[in-house]
Structure 1
Amino acid sequence: MTSETTAPAAAGSWKIGGLALTRLGYGAMQLAGPKVWGPPRDRDAALAVLRTAVEAGITHLDTSDYYGPHVVNDLIREALHPYPEHLCIATKVGARRTPDRAWPAALSRDELVRAVHDNLRRLDVPALHLVNLRMTDTRAAADLAGPFAVLAELREQGLIRHLGVSNVGAEQVRAARDIAPVACVQNHYNVALRGDDDLVDRCAEQGIAYVPYYPLGGFRPLQVDALEDVARDLGVTARQVALAWLLRRSPNILLIPGTSSVAHLRENIAAASVELPDRALRVLDAVGTR
Protein backbone atom coordinates (compact mmCIF):
# COMPACT_ATOMS: atom_id res chain seq x y z
CA MET A 1 0.00 0.00 0.00
CA THR A 2 1.39 3.41 -0.94
CA SER A 3 0.25 6.97 -0.31
CA GLU A 4 -0.79 7.56 -3.93
CA THR A 5 -4.11 9.33 -4.40
CA THR A 6 -6.96 6.84 -4.28
CA ALA A 7 -10.58 7.74 -4.97
CA PRO A 8 -12.43 8.16 -1.67
CA ALA A 9 -15.22 6.07 -3.19
CA ALA A 10 -13.12 3.11 -2.01
CA ALA A 11 -14.56 3.81 1.45
CA GLY A 12 -18.14 3.88 0.20
CA SER A 13 -20.72 6.59 0.73
CA TRP A 14 -23.56 7.62 3.03
CA LYS A 15 -26.78 9.13 1.73
CA ILE A 16 -28.25 12.30 3.20
CA GLY A 17 -31.37 13.12 1.26
CA GLY A 18 -30.60 12.74 -2.43
CA LEU A 19 -26.86 13.26 -2.00
CA ALA A 20 -24.32 10.46 -1.60
CA LEU A 21 -21.56 11.77 0.66
CA THR A 22 -18.21 10.08 0.31
CA ARG A 23 -17.30 8.67 3.70
CA LEU A 24 -13.90 10.27 3.33
CA GLY A 25 -14.59 13.98 2.97
CA TYR A 26 -12.63 17.16 3.59
CA GLY A 27 -12.72 19.67 6.46
CA ALA A 28 -11.79 23.16 5.32
CA MET A 29 -11.04 24.80 8.69
CA GLN A 30 -7.26 24.75 8.24
CA LEU A 31 -7.45 26.84 5.08
CA ALA A 32 -7.69 30.00 7.19
CA GLY A 33 -4.65 31.58 8.82
CA PRO A 34 -3.11 30.65 12.21
CA LYS A 35 -5.70 29.83 14.89
CA VAL A 36 -8.34 29.76 12.12
CA TRP A 37 -8.08 33.53 11.80
CA GLY A 38 -7.44 35.70 8.78
CA PRO A 39 -6.31 34.79 5.27
CA PRO A 40 -4.33 31.68 4.40
CA ARG A 41 -0.56 31.83 4.25
CA ASP A 42 -0.76 30.80 0.59
CA ARG A 43 -4.05 31.60 -1.14
CA ASP A 44 -3.21 29.71 -4.32
CA ALA A 45 -2.33 26.60 -2.31
CA ALA A 46 -5.63 26.83 -0.43
CA LEU A 47 -7.59 27.04 -3.67
CA ALA A 48 -5.60 24.10 -5.04
CA VAL A 49 -6.50 21.94 -2.04
CA LEU A 50 -10.22 22.55 -2.56
CA ARG A 51 -10.07 21.86 -6.28
CA THR A 52 -7.97 18.74 -5.77
CA ALA A 53 -10.46 17.39 -3.22
CA VAL A 54 -13.37 17.70 -5.63
CA GLU A 55 -11.35 16.41 -8.60
CA ALA A 56 -10.44 13.34 -6.51
CA GLY A 57 -14.12 12.51 -6.09
CA ILE A 58 -14.83 13.91 -2.62
CA THR A 59 -18.48 14.95 -2.32
CA HIS A 60 -18.52 16.09 1.33
CA LEU A 61 -16.93 19.41 2.34
CA ASP A 62 -17.19 20.79 5.87
CA THR A 63 -16.92 24.51 6.59
CA SER A 64 -18.32 27.42 8.61
CA ASP A 65 -18.64 31.14 8.08
CA TYR A 66 -16.89 31.67 11.43
CA TYR A 67 -13.71 30.09 10.04
CA GLY A 68 -11.58 33.11 9.37
CA PRO A 69 -14.21 34.53 9.91
CA HIS A 70 -15.68 34.43 6.38
CA VAL A 71 -12.31 33.53 4.83
CA VAL A 72 -12.92 29.83 4.23
CA ASN A 73 -16.38 30.22 2.72
CA ASP A 74 -15.02 32.88 0.39
CA LEU A 75 -12.27 30.48 -0.69
CA ILE A 76 -14.77 27.68 -1.32
CA ARG A 77 -16.90 29.95 -3.49
CA GLU A 78 -13.88 31.20 -5.44
CA ALA A 79 -12.46 27.73 -5.99
CA LEU A 80 -15.60 25.72 -6.73
CA HIS A 81 -18.57 27.89 -7.72
CA PRO A 82 -20.68 26.95 -9.63
CA TYR A 83 -20.69 23.79 -7.55
CA PRO A 84 -21.02 20.26 -8.92
CA GLU A 85 -24.54 18.94 -8.39
CA HIS A 86 -23.26 16.01 -6.35
CA LEU A 87 -21.26 18.16 -3.89
CA CYS A 88 -22.56 18.54 -0.33
CA ILE A 89 -21.23 21.56 1.57
CA ALA A 90 -21.92 21.20 5.28
CA THR A 91 -21.59 24.23 7.52
CA LYS A 92 -21.92 25.08 11.22
CA VAL A 93 -23.61 27.80 13.23
CA GLY A 94 -23.83 28.47 16.95
CA ALA A 95 -20.53 30.24 17.54
CA ARG A 96 -18.88 33.49 16.50
CA ARG A 97 -15.37 34.91 16.47
CA THR A 98 -14.16 37.85 18.54
CA PRO A 99 -11.11 40.07 17.96
CA ASP A 100 -9.15 38.10 20.56
CA ARG A 101 -9.77 35.02 18.36
CA ALA A 102 -12.06 33.32 20.87
CA TRP A 103 -15.09 31.18 19.94
CA PRO A 104 -18.02 32.28 22.15
CA ALA A 105 -21.48 30.83 21.71
CA ALA A 106 -23.91 32.55 19.34
CA LEU A 107 -27.19 30.74 19.96
CA SER A 108 -29.80 33.49 20.06
CA ARG A 109 -32.48 33.57 17.37
CA ASP A 110 -30.99 36.68 15.76
CA GLU A 111 -27.48 35.25 15.76
CA LEU A 112 -28.57 31.95 14.23
CA VAL A 113 -30.71 33.57 11.53
CA ARG A 114 -27.88 35.95 10.66
CA ALA A 115 -25.35 33.09 10.57
CA VAL A 116 -27.50 31.06 8.17
CA HIS A 117 -27.92 34.04 5.86
CA ASP A 118 -24.19 34.82 6.07
CA ASN A 119 -23.41 31.27 4.95
CA LEU A 120 -25.95 31.47 2.14
CA ARG A 121 -24.48 34.71 0.88
CA ARG A 122 -20.81 33.81 1.21
CA LEU A 123 -21.22 30.40 -0.39
CA ASP A 124 -23.64 31.83 -2.97
CA VAL A 125 -26.25 29.09 -2.72
CA PRO A 126 -30.07 29.28 -2.55
CA ALA A 127 -30.18 26.72 0.28
CA LEU A 128 -27.61 25.12 2.56
CA HIS A 129 -27.22 21.36 2.15
CA LEU A 130 -26.48 20.63 5.80
CA VAL A 131 -26.25 22.90 8.84
CA ASN A 132 -24.84 21.65 12.13
CA LEU A 133 -25.83 23.41 15.34
CA ARG A 134 -22.66 23.67 17.40
CA MET A 135 -23.19 23.60 21.14
CA THR A 136 -20.44 24.89 23.40
CA ASP A 137 -20.29 24.56 27.17
CA THR A 138 -23.44 22.57 27.88
CA ARG A 139 -24.87 19.17 27.10
CA ALA A 140 -28.27 19.84 28.64
CA ALA A 141 -31.14 18.95 26.33
CA ALA A 142 -33.07 22.07 27.33
CA ASP A 143 -30.24 24.32 26.16
CA LEU A 144 -30.31 22.81 22.68
CA ALA A 145 -34.07 22.80 22.09
CA GLY A 146 -34.56 26.54 21.51
CA PRO A 147 -31.68 27.06 19.07
CA PHE A 148 -32.45 23.86 17.17
CA ALA A 149 -36.08 24.90 16.81
CA VAL A 150 -34.88 28.11 15.12
CA LEU A 151 -32.92 26.07 12.57
CA ALA A 152 -35.92 23.79 12.09
CA GLU A 153 -37.99 26.87 11.17
CA LEU A 154 -35.37 27.93 8.62
CA ARG A 155 -35.46 24.40 7.23
CA GLU A 156 -39.23 24.68 6.82
CA GLN A 157 -38.64 27.95 4.94
CA GLY A 158 -36.41 26.10 2.46
CA LEU A 159 -33.15 27.79 3.48
CA ILE A 160 -31.68 24.56 4.89
CA ARG A 161 -32.15 21.04 3.54
CA HIS A 162 -30.81 18.94 6.42
CA LEU A 163 -29.88 19.54 10.05
CA GLY A 164 -27.20 18.16 12.31
CA VAL A 165 -25.88 18.76 15.81
CA SER A 166 -22.30 19.16 17.02
CA ASN A 167 -20.52 18.80 20.36
CA VAL A 168 -23.56 17.13 21.90
CA GLY A 169 -24.53 14.26 24.17
CA ALA A 170 -27.10 11.53 23.67
CA GLU A 171 -29.86 13.46 25.49
CA GLN A 172 -29.35 16.44 23.20
CA VAL A 173 -29.56 14.22 20.13
CA ARG A 174 -32.88 12.88 21.41
CA ALA A 175 -34.13 16.40 22.09
CA ALA A 176 -33.18 17.51 18.58
CA ARG A 177 -34.91 14.51 16.99
CA ASP A 178 -38.12 15.46 18.81
CA ILE A 179 -38.03 18.78 16.92
CA ALA A 180 -36.82 17.84 13.43
CA PRO A 181 -34.94 15.04 11.63
CA VAL A 182 -31.26 14.85 12.53
CA ALA A 183 -29.00 13.90 9.62
CA CYS A 184 -25.69 13.82 11.45
CA VAL A 185 -23.85 14.23 14.74
CA GLN A 186 -20.45 15.92 14.69
CA ASN A 187 -18.41 15.27 17.85
CA HIS A 188 -14.80 14.89 18.97
CA TYR A 189 -13.80 11.28 18.42
CA ASN A 190 -10.79 9.33 17.20
CA VAL A 191 -8.89 6.11 17.84
CA ALA A 192 -7.53 7.47 21.15
CA LEU A 193 -10.59 9.44 22.29
CA ARG A 194 -13.47 6.99 22.48
CA GLY A 195 -16.00 8.52 24.85
CA ASP A 196 -18.67 8.48 22.14
CA ASP A 197 -18.49 4.75 21.40
CA ASP A 198 -22.08 4.17 22.50
CA LEU A 199 -23.33 7.24 20.64
CA VAL A 200 -21.63 6.11 17.42
CA ASP A 201 -23.49 2.81 17.62
CA ARG A 202 -26.79 4.45 18.55
CA CYS A 203 -26.55 6.84 15.61
CA ALA A 204 -25.85 3.92 13.28
CA GLU A 205 -29.00 2.17 14.50
CA GLN A 206 -31.02 5.34 13.85
CA GLY A 207 -29.59 6.01 10.39
CA ILE A 208 -27.71 9.11 11.56
CA ALA A 209 -24.25 9.87 10.19
CA TYR A 210 -21.52 10.36 12.78
CA VAL A 211 -18.83 12.84 11.75
CA PRO A 212 -15.82 12.91 14.09
CA TYR A 213 -14.00 16.21 14.24
CA TYR A 214 -10.29 16.11 15.02
CA PRO A 215 -10.02 12.55 13.64
CA LEU A 216 -6.25 13.01 13.64
CA GLY A 217 -6.01 14.76 16.99
CA GLY A 218 -6.68 18.40 16.06
CA PHE A 219 -4.05 21.09 16.48
CA ARG A 220 -1.88 18.56 18.33
CA PRO A 221 -1.60 15.44 16.16
CA LEU A 222 -2.26 12.07 17.73
CA GLN A 223 0.84 10.65 19.40
CA VAL A 224 0.03 6.95 19.78
CA ASP A 225 2.72 4.30 19.60
CA ALA A 226 0.24 1.73 18.32
CA LEU A 227 -0.47 3.88 15.25
CA GLU A 228 3.23 4.07 14.45
CA ASP A 229 3.70 0.34 14.96
CA VAL A 230 0.78 -0.62 12.71
CA ALA A 231 1.77 1.94 10.09
CA ARG A 232 5.30 0.56 9.98
CA ASP A 233 4.03 -2.99 9.52
CA LEU A 234 1.67 -1.98 6.68
CA GLY A 235 4.01 0.46 4.94
CA VAL A 236 1.65 3.42 5.31
CA THR A 237 1.55 6.49 7.55
CA ALA A 238 0.17 6.79 11.06
CA ARG A 239 -2.35 9.36 9.77
CA GLN A 240 -3.65 6.85 7.26
CA VAL A 241 -3.98 4.17 9.92
CA ALA A 242 -5.96 6.51 12.19
CA LEU A 243 -8.37 7.35 9.36
CA ALA A 244 -8.65 3.74 8.20
CA TRP A 245 -9.56 2.64 11.73
CA LEU A 246 -12.40 5.18 11.86
CA LEU A 247 -13.73 4.05 8.48
CA ARG A 248 -13.68 0.47 9.74
CA ARG A 249 -15.22 1.41 13.11
CA SER A 250 -18.77 1.89 11.78
CA PRO A 251 -20.38 2.40 8.36
CA ASN A 252 -22.09 5.62 9.50
CA ILE A 253 -18.79 7.36 10.24
CA LEU A 254 -17.95 10.10 7.73
CA LEU A 255 -14.51 11.65 7.93
CA ILE A 256 -13.56 15.30 7.38
CA PRO A 257 -9.79 15.44 7.98
CA GLY A 258 -8.45 18.91 7.33
CA THR A 259 -5.24 20.12 5.78
CA SER A 260 -3.87 23.10 3.90
CA SER A 261 -1.49 20.91 1.88
CA VAL A 262 -2.28 19.05 -1.35
CA ALA A 263 0.31 16.43 -0.39
CA HIS A 264 -1.39 15.74 2.94
CA LEU A 265 -4.78 15.74 1.23
CA ARG A 266 -3.59 13.01 -1.13
CA GLU A 267 -2.25 11.05 1.83
CA ASN A 268 -5.59 11.31 3.61
CA ILE A 269 -7.51 10.27 0.50
CA ALA A 270 -5.32 7.19 0.13
CA ALA A 271 -6.40 6.08 3.61
CA ALA A 272 -9.74 5.08 2.07
CA SER A 273 -8.10 2.00 0.58
CA VAL A 274 -5.91 0.99 3.54
CA GLU A 275 -6.94 -2.47 4.70
CA LEU A 276 -6.38 -3.23 8.37
CA PRO A 277 -5.78 -6.92 9.10
CA ASP A 278 -7.29 -8.47 12.21
CA ARG A 279 -4.03 -8.25 14.15
CA ALA A 280 -3.83 -4.51 13.50
CA LEU A 281 -7.46 -4.02 14.51
CA ARG A 282 -6.85 -5.80 17.80
CA VAL A 283 -3.98 -3.45 18.57
CA LEU A 284 -5.90 -0.31 17.58
CA ASP A 285 -9.14 -1.32 19.28
CA ALA A 286 -7.22 -1.63 22.54
CA VAL A 287 -5.87 1.95 22.34
CA GLY A 288 -9.03 3.55 23.70
CA THR A 289 -9.17 1.17 26.68
CA ARG A 290 -5.71 1.90 28.05
Structure 2
Amino acid sequence: MEKRSKIYVAGHRGMVGSAIYRKLLKEGFQNIITRSSEELDLRNQQAVTDFFSLEKPDYVFLAAAKVGGIIANNTYRADFLYENLAIQNNVIHQSYINGVKKLMFLGSSCIYPKLAPQPLREDYLLTGLLEPTNEPYAIAKIAGIKMCDAYRDQYGCNFISVMPTNLYGLNDNYHPENSHVLPALIRKFDEAKNNDSKEVVIWGTGSPMREFLFADDLADACYFLMEKYNEPNLINIGTGEDLTIKDLAFLVKKVVGFDGKLVFDTSKPDGTPRKLMDVSKLHKLGWRHHIELEDGLKLAYQDYLSKK
Protein backbone atom coordinates (compact mmCIF):
# COMPACT_ATOMS: atom_id res chain seq x y z
CA MET A 1 0.00 0.00 0.00
CA GLU A 2 1.24 3.47 -0.86
CA LYS A 3 0.65 6.38 1.51
CA ARG A 4 -1.70 7.97 -1.04
CA SER A 5 -3.67 4.76 -1.63
CA LYS A 6 -7.41 5.00 -0.98
CA ILE A 7 -8.16 2.59 1.86
CA TYR A 8 -11.66 1.67 3.02
CA VAL A 9 -11.95 0.45 6.63
CA ALA A 10 -15.37 -1.18 6.98
CA GLY A 11 -16.46 -1.13 10.60
CA HIS A 12 -14.16 1.72 11.71
CA ARG A 13 -16.22 2.46 14.84
CA GLY A 14 -15.87 -1.04 16.25
CA MET A 15 -13.00 -2.26 18.39
CA VAL A 16 -11.14 -3.94 15.50
CA GLY A 17 -11.90 -1.36 12.81
CA SER A 18 -10.96 1.57 15.05
CA ALA A 19 -7.66 -0.11 15.91
CA ILE A 20 -6.88 -0.63 12.21
CA TYR A 21 -7.82 3.00 11.53
CA ARG A 22 -5.45 4.20 14.28
CA LYS A 23 -2.67 2.00 12.91
CA LEU A 24 -3.06 3.37 9.37
CA LEU A 25 -2.97 6.95 10.64
CA LYS A 26 0.13 6.16 12.68
CA GLU A 27 1.82 4.75 9.57
CA GLY A 28 1.11 7.96 7.64
CA PHE A 29 -1.86 6.97 5.46
CA GLN A 30 -4.08 9.98 4.77
CA ASN A 31 -6.64 8.77 2.24
CA ILE A 32 -8.71 6.55 4.53
CA ILE A 33 -12.42 6.21 3.75
CA THR A 34 -14.95 5.43 6.47
CA ARG A 35 -18.73 5.33 6.76
CA SER A 36 -20.75 4.84 9.91
CA SER A 37 -23.57 2.27 9.84
CA GLU A 38 -26.01 5.20 9.77
CA GLU A 39 -24.34 6.55 6.64
CA LEU A 40 -23.93 3.19 4.90
CA ASP A 41 -25.88 0.03 5.71
CA LEU A 42 -23.54 -2.73 4.54
CA ARG A 43 -26.47 -5.18 4.54
CA ASN A 44 -28.07 -3.13 1.75
CA GLN A 45 -26.83 -4.38 -1.61
CA GLN A 46 -27.74 -1.24 -3.57
CA ALA A 47 -26.20 1.07 -0.97
CA VAL A 48 -22.91 -0.86 -1.05
CA THR A 49 -22.96 -0.93 -4.86
CA ASP A 50 -23.40 2.85 -4.99
CA PHE A 51 -20.68 3.44 -2.37
CA PHE A 52 -18.04 1.35 -4.18
CA SER A 53 -18.82 2.81 -7.61
CA LEU A 54 -18.48 6.30 -6.13
CA GLU A 55 -15.35 5.84 -3.96
CA LYS A 56 -13.40 3.14 -5.87
CA PRO A 57 -11.12 2.17 -2.94
CA ASP A 58 -7.74 0.58 -3.69
CA TYR A 59 -7.64 -1.52 -0.50
CA VAL A 60 -10.34 -2.81 1.85
CA PHE A 61 -10.19 -3.99 5.46
CA LEU A 62 -13.47 -5.82 6.07
CA ALA A 63 -13.80 -5.51 9.85
CA ALA A 64 -17.55 -4.84 9.92
CA ALA A 65 -19.68 -7.61 11.41
CA LYS A 66 -22.52 -8.34 13.79
CA VAL A 67 -20.74 -9.71 16.86
CA GLY A 68 -21.54 -10.73 20.44
CA GLY A 69 -21.01 -13.23 23.24
CA ILE A 70 -22.64 -16.60 23.97
CA ILE A 71 -26.07 -15.17 24.86
CA ALA A 72 -26.28 -12.89 21.82
CA ASN A 73 -25.04 -15.58 19.42
CA ASN A 74 -27.45 -18.18 20.76
CA THR A 75 -30.46 -15.82 20.97
CA TYR A 76 -30.19 -13.95 17.66
CA ARG A 77 -29.15 -16.94 15.56
CA ALA A 78 -30.94 -15.86 12.37
CA ASP A 79 -29.68 -12.28 12.66
CA PHE A 80 -26.07 -13.39 13.11
CA LEU A 81 -26.25 -15.62 10.03
CA TYR A 82 -28.20 -13.31 7.72
CA GLU A 83 -26.54 -9.99 8.60
CA ASN A 84 -22.97 -11.28 8.43
CA LEU A 85 -23.59 -13.08 5.15
CA ALA A 86 -25.17 -9.93 3.71
CA ILE A 87 -22.32 -7.64 4.84
CA GLN A 88 -19.52 -9.82 3.49
CA ASN A 89 -21.34 -10.80 0.28
CA ASN A 90 -21.89 -7.14 -0.60
CA VAL A 91 -18.41 -5.88 0.31
CA ILE A 92 -16.45 -8.78 -1.22
CA HIS A 93 -18.44 -8.81 -4.45
CA GLN A 94 -18.25 -5.04 -4.93
CA SER A 95 -14.51 -5.14 -4.21
CA TYR A 96 -14.20 -7.52 -7.18
CA ILE A 97 -16.53 -5.47 -9.41
CA ASN A 98 -14.65 -2.24 -8.69
CA GLY A 99 -11.12 -3.58 -9.04
CA VAL A 100 -9.95 -3.42 -5.42
CA LYS A 101 -6.24 -4.35 -5.40
CA LYS A 102 -6.41 -6.24 -2.11
CA LEU A 103 -9.05 -7.07 0.48
CA MET A 104 -8.59 -8.43 3.98
CA PHE A 105 -11.51 -10.37 5.46
CA LEU A 106 -11.48 -10.71 9.24
CA GLY A 107 -13.08 -13.79 10.72
CA SER A 108 -13.04 -15.40 14.15
CA SER A 109 -11.51 -18.38 15.92
CA CYS A 110 -15.03 -19.83 16.38
CA ILE A 111 -14.84 -21.10 12.79
CA TYR A 112 -12.93 -24.14 14.04
CA PRO A 113 -14.64 -27.37 15.15
CA LYS A 114 -15.64 -27.45 18.82
CA LEU A 115 -13.47 -30.48 19.57
CA ALA A 116 -10.61 -29.79 17.15
CA PRO A 117 -7.11 -30.70 18.39
CA GLN A 118 -5.25 -27.91 20.16
CA PRO A 119 -3.67 -25.61 19.21
CA LEU A 120 -5.96 -24.78 16.28
CA ARG A 121 -4.16 -25.08 12.97
CA GLU A 122 -5.49 -23.44 9.82
CA ASP A 123 -6.03 -26.81 8.14
CA TYR A 124 -8.49 -27.90 10.86
CA LEU A 125 -11.21 -25.83 9.20
CA LEU A 126 -14.28 -27.95 8.30
CA THR A 127 -12.93 -31.12 9.92
CA GLY A 128 -15.68 -31.44 12.56
CA LEU A 129 -18.85 -30.06 14.15
CA LEU A 130 -18.99 -26.47 15.35
CA GLU A 131 -19.84 -25.16 18.83
CA PRO A 132 -23.70 -25.09 18.70
CA THR A 133 -24.13 -21.76 20.53
CA ASN A 134 -22.33 -19.73 17.85
CA GLU A 135 -22.77 -21.99 14.83
CA PRO A 136 -24.68 -19.42 12.68
CA TYR A 137 -21.96 -16.78 13.15
CA ALA A 138 -19.23 -19.33 12.46
CA ILE A 139 -20.94 -20.55 9.29
CA ALA A 140 -21.17 -16.97 8.00
CA LYS A 141 -17.46 -16.45 8.64
CA ILE A 142 -16.54 -19.75 6.99
CA ALA A 143 -18.57 -18.66 3.96
CA GLY A 144 -16.54 -15.43 3.89
CA ILE A 145 -13.24 -17.35 3.86
CA LYS A 146 -14.46 -19.60 1.04
CA MET A 147 -15.82 -16.60 -0.86
CA CYS A 148 -12.43 -14.86 -0.77
CA ASP A 149 -10.75 -18.04 -2.01
CA ALA A 150 -13.38 -18.56 -4.72
CA TYR A 151 -12.97 -15.00 -6.04
CA ARG A 152 -9.21 -15.56 -6.00
CA ASP A 153 -9.61 -18.83 -7.96
CA GLN A 154 -12.15 -17.59 -10.50
CA TYR A 155 -11.24 -13.92 -10.92
CA GLY A 156 -7.64 -13.65 -9.66
CA CYS A 157 -8.60 -11.31 -6.79
CA ASN A 158 -5.99 -10.80 -4.08
CA PHE A 159 -8.46 -11.35 -1.24
CA ILE A 160 -7.00 -12.73 2.01
CA SER A 161 -8.61 -14.04 5.20
CA VAL A 162 -7.28 -13.61 8.72
CA MET A 163 -8.66 -15.32 11.82
CA PRO A 164 -8.06 -13.43 15.07
CA THR A 165 -8.25 -15.11 18.45
CA ASN A 166 -10.41 -13.60 21.24
CA LEU A 167 -9.92 -9.84 21.22
CA TYR A 168 -10.18 -7.05 23.75
CA GLY A 169 -9.12 -3.42 23.95
CA LEU A 170 -10.21 0.14 23.25
CA ASN A 171 -13.82 0.64 22.07
CA ASP A 172 -14.86 -2.82 23.24
CA ASN A 173 -18.53 -3.72 23.81
CA TYR A 174 -19.41 -3.81 27.52
CA HIS A 175 -23.12 -4.56 27.15
CA PRO A 176 -24.28 -6.66 30.15
CA GLU A 177 -25.80 -9.37 27.91
CA ASN A 178 -24.23 -9.08 24.46
CA SER A 179 -20.53 -8.71 25.30
CA HIS A 180 -17.69 -11.22 25.16
CA VAL A 181 -16.20 -12.77 28.28
CA LEU A 182 -13.35 -10.34 28.99
CA PRO A 183 -15.26 -7.02 28.68
CA ALA A 184 -18.15 -8.66 30.56
CA LEU A 185 -15.76 -9.46 33.42
CA ILE A 186 -14.36 -5.91 33.46
CA ARG A 187 -17.87 -4.51 33.79
CA LYS A 188 -18.91 -7.07 36.41
CA PHE A 189 -15.91 -6.45 38.65
CA ASP A 190 -16.13 -2.67 38.30
CA GLU A 191 -19.83 -2.65 39.21
CA ALA A 192 -19.22 -5.01 42.14
CA LYS A 193 -16.39 -2.77 43.36
CA ASN A 194 -18.55 0.36 43.16
CA ASN A 195 -21.52 -1.35 44.84
CA ASP A 196 -19.37 -2.81 47.66
CA SER A 197 -20.53 -6.31 46.66
CA LYS A 198 -19.10 -9.25 48.56
CA GLU A 199 -18.89 -11.54 45.53
CA VAL A 200 -18.93 -11.74 41.74
CA VAL A 201 -20.66 -14.64 39.98
CA ILE A 202 -18.81 -16.08 36.95
CA TRP A 203 -20.61 -18.19 34.36
CA GLY A 204 -19.58 -21.84 34.10
CA THR A 205 -16.89 -23.83 35.82
CA GLY A 206 -13.99 -21.51 35.06
CA SER A 207 -12.12 -24.39 33.40
CA PRO A 208 -12.31 -23.44 29.69
CA MET A 209 -9.04 -22.16 28.27
CA ARG A 210 -8.98 -18.92 26.28
CA GLU A 211 -6.38 -16.86 24.43
CA PHE A 212 -6.61 -13.06 24.29
CA LEU A 213 -5.07 -10.53 21.92
CA PHE A 214 -5.13 -6.76 22.40
CA ALA A 215 -6.94 -5.11 19.47
CA ASP A 216 -4.03 -2.78 18.67
CA ASP A 217 -1.78 -5.82 18.35
CA LEU A 218 -4.32 -7.30 15.93
CA ALA A 219 -4.25 -4.06 13.91
CA ASP A 220 -0.46 -4.24 13.79
CA ALA A 221 -0.68 -7.84 12.51
CA CYS A 222 -3.33 -6.88 9.93
CA TYR A 223 -1.14 -4.09 8.59
CA PHE A 224 1.84 -6.47 8.49
CA LEU A 225 -0.16 -9.10 6.57
CA MET A 226 -1.67 -6.56 4.17
CA GLU A 227 1.93 -5.72 3.23
CA LYS A 228 3.42 -9.24 3.27
CA TYR A 229 0.77 -11.96 2.81
CA ASN A 230 -0.85 -12.82 -0.53
CA GLU A 231 -1.97 -16.44 -0.22
CA PRO A 232 -5.25 -18.35 -0.38
CA ASN A 233 -6.72 -20.02 2.71
CA LEU A 234 -6.73 -18.37 6.12
CA ILE A 235 -4.01 -17.34 8.55
CA ASN A 236 -4.41 -17.25 12.34
CA ILE A 237 -3.61 -14.15 14.39
CA GLY A 238 -3.02 -14.63 18.11
CA THR A 239 -0.49 -14.86 20.90
CA GLY A 240 -0.14 -18.65 21.02
CA GLU A 241 -0.69 -18.45 24.82
CA ASP A 242 -3.86 -19.12 26.84
CA LEU A 243 -5.22 -19.30 30.39
CA THR A 244 -8.33 -20.58 32.15
CA ILE A 245 -11.39 -18.38 32.57
CA LYS A 246 -10.82 -18.77 36.31
CA ASP A 247 -7.29 -17.35 36.05
CA LEU A 248 -8.57 -14.61 33.75
CA ALA A 249 -11.22 -13.67 36.32
CA PHE A 250 -8.61 -13.39 39.06
CA LEU A 251 -6.45 -11.23 36.79
CA VAL A 252 -9.36 -8.87 35.98
CA LYS A 253 -10.22 -8.80 39.71
CA LYS A 254 -6.66 -7.66 40.42
CA VAL A 255 -6.59 -4.99 37.69
CA VAL A 256 -10.00 -3.56 38.69
CA GLY A 257 -9.18 -3.69 42.40
CA PHE A 258 -12.16 -5.75 43.60
CA ASP A 259 -11.72 -7.21 47.09
CA GLY A 260 -14.60 -9.72 47.24
CA LYS A 261 -14.73 -13.40 46.34
CA LEU A 262 -15.49 -15.29 43.11
CA VAL A 263 -18.41 -17.71 42.76
CA PHE A 264 -18.70 -19.99 39.72
CA ASP A 265 -22.25 -20.75 38.52
CA THR A 266 -21.83 -24.24 37.08
CA SER A 267 -25.44 -24.30 35.83
CA LYS A 268 -24.39 -21.88 33.07
CA PRO A 269 -22.67 -23.04 29.84
CA ASP A 270 -18.89 -23.12 29.45
CA GLY A 271 -18.80 -22.95 25.66
CA THR A 272 -15.88 -24.49 23.77
CA PRO A 273 -13.42 -26.25 26.16
CA ARG A 274 -10.36 -24.63 24.61
CA LYS A 275 -9.56 -22.26 21.75
CA LEU A 276 -5.82 -21.79 21.40
CA MET A 277 -4.55 -20.67 18.00
CA ASP A 278 -1.57 -22.22 16.30
CA VAL A 279 0.27 -19.08 15.19
CA SER A 280 3.38 -20.78 13.80
CA LYS A 281 2.45 -19.68 10.25
CA LEU A 282 2.32 -16.04 11.41
CA HIS A 283 5.51 -16.35 13.48
CA LYS A 284 7.37 -17.75 10.46
CA LEU A 285 6.42 -14.62 8.51
CA GLY A 286 8.04 -12.55 11.27
CA TRP A 287 5.18 -11.16 13.38
CA ARG A 288 4.64 -11.62 17.15
CA HIS A 289 2.37 -9.87 19.64
CA HIS A 290 3.76 -7.01 21.76
CA ILE A 291 1.18 -6.31 24.48
CA GLU A 292 0.96 -8.82 27.34
CA LEU A 293 -2.44 -9.59 28.89
CA GLU A 294 -2.12 -7.74 32.19
CA ASP A 295 -0.78 -4.60 30.48
CA GLY A 296 -3.58 -4.77 27.92
CA LEU A 297 -6.18 -5.25 30.66
CA LYS A 298 -5.01 -2.07 32.39
CA LEU A 299 -5.40 -0.13 29.13
CA ALA A 300 -8.83 -1.67 28.47
CA TYR A 301 -10.03 -0.90 32.00
CA GLN A 302 -8.97 2.74 31.71
CA ASP A 303 -10.82 2.95 28.39
CA TYR A 304 -13.92 1.44 30.03
CA LEU A 305 -13.77 3.97 32.87
CA SER A 306 -13.41 6.86 30.39
CA LYS A 307 -16.62 5.84 28.61
CA LYS A 308 -18.84 5.12 31.62
- Whether TM exceeds 0.5 here: the answer is no
TM (normalized to structure 1)?
0.33
Larger Rg: 2
Taking structure 2 as the reference length, the TM-score comes to 0.31
